A and B are shown apart, each in its own frame.
Chain A
Amino acid sequence: MAKTQQFCTFFLQDQFFGVPVQQVQEVIRYQEMTRVPLVPSVIRGLINLRGQIVMALDLRRRFGMEDRTDSQLPMNVVVRTDDGAVSFLVDEIGDVLEADEEHFEPPPETLKGQARELVRGVYKLEQRLMLVLDTSRAVASADDGVRKVN
């Protein structure tokens, strides 16, 4: 019996991503945000998650993809990090999938740009490929971004 892991999946542009379910606190629809001036644009703002203030990071901007159109409202994937909960803004939410470790492969050498540090690897699913997001890197490098901008 091969080992399997459950993933919470989502879409960014036309790519399919997954985050291990254990890291995900919840998935919620679009929330109104309060923008935070002077910080890097990756940080879209702060949302009120039942009294808890959570920072929202736009994964499209994180990956250097182009912005969503105004009519396209992002969804929130709230993950737990060492520094409290952080919400990732994504295009659409997919199913929770069970993936077999047999089908895992590290990212190809040809992977370029931001994706290189943010993608931990790829699951070869029957229909498509699922990119595994390194959540702590996604949050931590936003941190670096703050310093750079300032």
Chain B
Amino acid sequence: MSDAEIVKEFLVESYENLDRLDQELIALEKDPGNRETLASIFRTIHTIKGTSGFLAFNQLEAVTHVGENLLARLRDRQLTLTPAITTALLSMVDAVRQMLGSIEDVGNEGERHDQELIVTLTRVMQTKNDTNPTAAPSPAQPESRQNALPEPGPKLGDILVSKGKADASDVTAAVDRQSEGDPRHVGEILVEKGVVQPRDVVDALNAQQQARGQSASDSTIRVDVAQLDRMMNGMSELVLLRNQIVQYSNSTDDSELLGTSQRLNLLTTELQEGVMKTRMQPIGNIWSKFPRTVRDVALGCGKQVRIEMEGKETELDKTIIEAIKDPLTHLVRNAVDHGIESPEVRRAVGKNPEGLLFLRAFHEGGQVNIEIMDDGGGLEFEKIRNKAIQKALISADQAARMTEREITKLIFLPGFSTAEKVTSVSGRGVGMDVVRTNIEKIGGIVDVQSKPGQSTTVRMKIPLTLAIIPALIVASGGDRYAIPQVSLLELVRLEGEQARKGIEQVNGAPVYRLRERLLPLVYLNRELKVDAKGQDAEAGEAQSVNIVVLRADDRQFGLVVDEINDTEEIVVKPLSKQLKTVNTYAGATIMGDGKVALILDVMGLAQRANVVSEVRDRSLSEEGGEEAQVAASGNQRKAVLLFQYGESGRMAVDLGLVARLEEFSRNTVEIAGDQEVVQYRGQIMPLIRVSEALEGRYRKAAESEQESLQVVVYSDKGRSVGLVVDRILDIVEESFVMQRQTGRNGILGSAVIQKRVTDILDVPGLIAAADQSQLLARAQA
């Protein structure tokens, strides 16, 4: 094994352990007396420390060494866990993660300044805390070390004894010395006493490692995801081939071929399920990060939040897991930040001061349901209604007629979130449209329900997999199209008299009475601008009418097609870039007869036909209508944060670069050196005034009028920088073309966003420039 391989293995193993560590630390905070958790944490840090020492990652070793000492004191009950200690340990985990990331990227730990962390860790270790340990130590536990670390597998001492290298009595003596406070390992003590040779200890350690390793590695192996992707692709081809053969064999009367193809059919289905299963991951993999997120957010805004989960084991395809990770995280943060009230408020209304965030996942009808429930204040319908009117998303007239459910939906509108909402803790809806877009991108739907004063629940329905989906095959204008079954509600066929009279018109818009409710009808051939087969398929003249009832965004509409064929498992193939510009197609697939069929994007089709237009349209003010929207979708849509710059300038920053939006009161700003700083989440965060940095001059007068500073927090490699902006305007998701511009430091270029010329901020460039001017200023001073 080469060095690089050893390092790689170390990284993979350590990353896994770190993820667990976050959870375990949070669990330990809840239950400080749990020795097993503590032992497990200790073990993980110990392993990382040991290996990093061996691989000469000295900074990593230094940090983990202090952490280990702290953990040892916790384990030995010389200390009890306090939030301060947990925070210190979590920072240590973060530091370790950063170093591992750096090792992965550049091969070393990078420039580190961990002295502060080490000091913090040492300090919390030395604070005497008088609080009684939650679990009183039982007197009958002097054999602390060996028992505190219930390592699976044989103990080192036992191995040495069994190999005849040491006497049982010597081992016992060494263990006793440990429990008396000797910090060294049994092996070290024995070597020092001259009982065994160092070589024997190493041999025994290896034997121990082997014995431990076996149990886990026997039943599972690690597989490269790329390998799984290749397997899935091959599987997709096989499914296609199977479809072709089955179709061909059905048209012959060769019984032998028929039998063989049936068996092929069965086997392929089984194999397909098997391959899909290998790509499945429990949703718990992403949820496991949430206790930490919740703790951090809750601590940051002074709330108490308990997180509960149900259905952690619910499995989803890896690509889907990846796709829902960010939206879920966003929702969880949102729920803690905005949903759950502060302990005082909760007490005042008679609730448990500790809020509850409940995550639930379960399978239902070939889909996965995910629910995120908080028992906070719920949505404030009036506020949302007013906001939407104010933002011209709906008219006052419309608003008056809206039900609570419809109002709830407004928070998903692009452009709904506003400056006040972005910075303060007043409402939800920050980036909810982004959440929805991302969920819909993978064929899922998202919905919010809220009981005022009681709870808010966000529900999502997500498909299990994306690669092979069941679809209904329809024909229109002589071509076949596939409609993903997820969007399908029912099929209606009108014949004879019904076909002629069943379809009525509302001022030219065709509708059908489906169980006494009007179902708007969309003719596929008209939408696609293709001729219906042969004759004019106007409702009156057709022999029969086939209606596919579809669901798009909680609205129903009937798609009228020439023919309805079977449902089939189809393999989704992406369309080339040139075709993605039309949002009517979700992809293409190869049918049993080898021909290509387009997969309809039901959402896109509904938008095109204006079925979902009134709420989906960006806003009433944008009158370009469909044309503008479709044209715009030609480019990549991007989420940006807009803020005011100077008197009337507008500037945008990529939302991906924004860690958080904060508002700091003026008097919390302190000066360190000649740099303005604020205390932020246990760190000292430097502030950069964007206008000043860009223009290189001081504009104190304008800002001193403001009571508070609006700050965009940017984090990179653990360093947070606060960008002070004049006013935060909005978060928008739009497609735009940026025109590059050189010559202005800190500006990437400009683009037209929301129909206005907007400069795009180069955050890293700005920070670098600010750093430099600081240095210059200092050099001159």
Evaluate whether A55 and B582 lie within 8 angstroms (CB atoms) in the complex, with A37-B529, A37-B530, A150-B630 already known: no
Cβ-closest 5 pairs across A and B: A37-B528, A34-B596, A46-B596, A147-B634, A146-B581
B436 to chain A, nearest CB (A): 24
* A–B pairs, 22, beta carbons within 8 Å: A32-B595, A33-B596, A35-B479, A36-B585, A37-B479, A37-B530, A37-B584, A38-B582, A38-B584, A39-B578, A43-B578, A46-B598, A47-B596, A48-B595, A51-B237, A51-B590, A83-B577, A143-B577, A146-B579, A147-B581, A147-B634, A150-B634
Is A86 an interface residue, CB under 8 A from the partner? yes
**C-alpha gap A142/B598 in the complex (Å):** 19
Main secondary structure of the interface of B (DSSP, over half): mixed
Is B219 an interface residue, CB under 8 A from the partner? no
Is A113 an interface residue, CB under 8 A from the partner? no
Q: Hey, which chain A residues are within 8 Å of B240, CB to CB? A: 51
**C-alpha gap A41/B594 in the complex (Å):** 23
The residue among B237, B596, B597 with the most chain A CB atoms within 10 A of its own CB is: B596
**C-alpha gap A84/B579 in the complex (Å):** 13
| Inter-chain residue pair count (beta carbon < 8 A) | 74
Is A139 an interface residue, CB under 8 A from the partner? yes
In contact, A46 and B588 (Cβ under 8 angstroms): yes
Is A96 an interface residue, CB under 8 A from the partner? no
B476 to chain A, nearest CB (A): 9
Q: Hey, which chain A residues are within 8 Å of B576, CB to CB? A: 55, 83-84, 86
B581 to chain A, nearest CB (A): 5
**C-alpha gap A43/B576 in the complex (Å):** 11
Main secondary structure of the interface of A (DSSP, over half): mixed
Evaluate whether A142 and B596 lie within 8 angstroms (CB atoms) in the complex, with A38-B528, A51-B240, A150-B627 already known: no
**C-alpha gap A38/B584 in the complex (Å):** 9
The residue among A38, A45, A139 with the most chain B CB atoms within 10 A of its own CB is: A38
Q: Hey, which chain A residues are within 8 Å of B425, CB to CB? A: none
Count A-side interface residues using an 8 Å CB cutoff: 25
Q: Hey, which chain A residues are within 8 Å of B529, CB to CB? A: 37-38
Contact with B along A126-150 (1 / 0, CB 8 A): 0000000000000100110011001
Q: Hey, which chain A residues are within 8 Å of B630, CB to CB? A: 150
**C-alpha gap A143/B479 in the complex (Å):** 24
A99 to chain B, nearest CB (A): 30
For window 591-607 of B, CB contacts with A under 8 Å fall at 594-598
Is B211 an interface residue, CB under 8 A from the partner? no
Q: A36-B579, A37-B479 provided; 5 other pairs, C-beta below 8 A?
A: A37-B528, A46-B588, A55-B576, A147-B581, A147-B631
**C-alpha gap A150/B735 in the complex (Å):** 15
In contact, B578 and A142 (Cβ under 8 angstroms): yes
In contact, A34 and B597 (Cβ under 8 angstroms): yes
B597 to chain A, nearest CB (A): 6
When C-beta atoms are compared, the residue in chain A nearest to B524 turns out to be: A37
When C-beta atoms are compared, the residue in chain B nearest to A51 turns out to be: B237
When C-beta atoms are compared, the residue in chain B nearest to A146 turns out to be: B581
Q: Hey, which chain A residues are within 8 Å of B631, CB to CB? A: 147, 150
In contact, B479 and A150 (Cβ under 8 angstroms): no
In contact, A39 and B597 (Cβ under 8 angstroms): no
Contact with A along B552-586 (1 / 0, CB 8 A): 00000000000000000000010111110110110
**C-alpha gap A124/B573 in the complex (Å):** 43
When C-beta atoms are compared, the residue in chain A nearest to B233 turns out to be: A51
For window 607-621 of B, CB contacts with A under 8 Å fall at none
Q: Hey, which chain A residues are within 8 Å of B477, CB to CB? A: 37
Evaluate whether A34 and B579 lie within 8 angstroms (CB atoms) in the complex, with A46-B588, A51-B240, A147-B631 already known: no
In contact, B634 and A53 (Cβ under 8 angstroms): no
Q: Hey, which chain B residues are within 8 Å of A142, CB to CB? A: 578
**C-alpha gap A106/B750 in the complex (Å):** 36
Evaluate whether A53 and B588 lie within 8 angstroms (CB atoms) in the complex, with A34-B596, A150-B634 already known: yes
A146 to chain B, nearest CB (A): 5
When C-beta atoms are compared, the residue in chain B nearest to A82 turns out to be: B577
For window 14-33 of A, CB contacts with B under 8 Å fall at 32-33
**Which one, B528, B573, B598, contacts A34 given CB within 8 A?**
B598
**Which one, B237, B577, B598, contacts A36 given CB within 8 A?**
B598
The residue among A32, A45, A146 with the most chain B CB atoms within 10 A of its own CB is: A146
The residue among B477, B573, B576, B597 with the most chain A CB atoms within 10 A of its own CB is: B576
Q: Hey, which chain B residues are within 8 Å of A37, CB to CB? A: 477, 479, 528-530, 584
**C-alpha gap A135/B344 in the complex (Å):** 68
Evaluate whether A34 and B479 lie within 8 angstroms (CB atoms) in the complex, with A51-B240, A53-B573, A53-B596 already known: yes
B587 to chain A, nearest CB (A): 9
**C-alpha gap A35/B529 in the complex (Å):** 12
**Which one, B237, B528, B530, B578, contacts A143 given CB within 8 A?**
B578
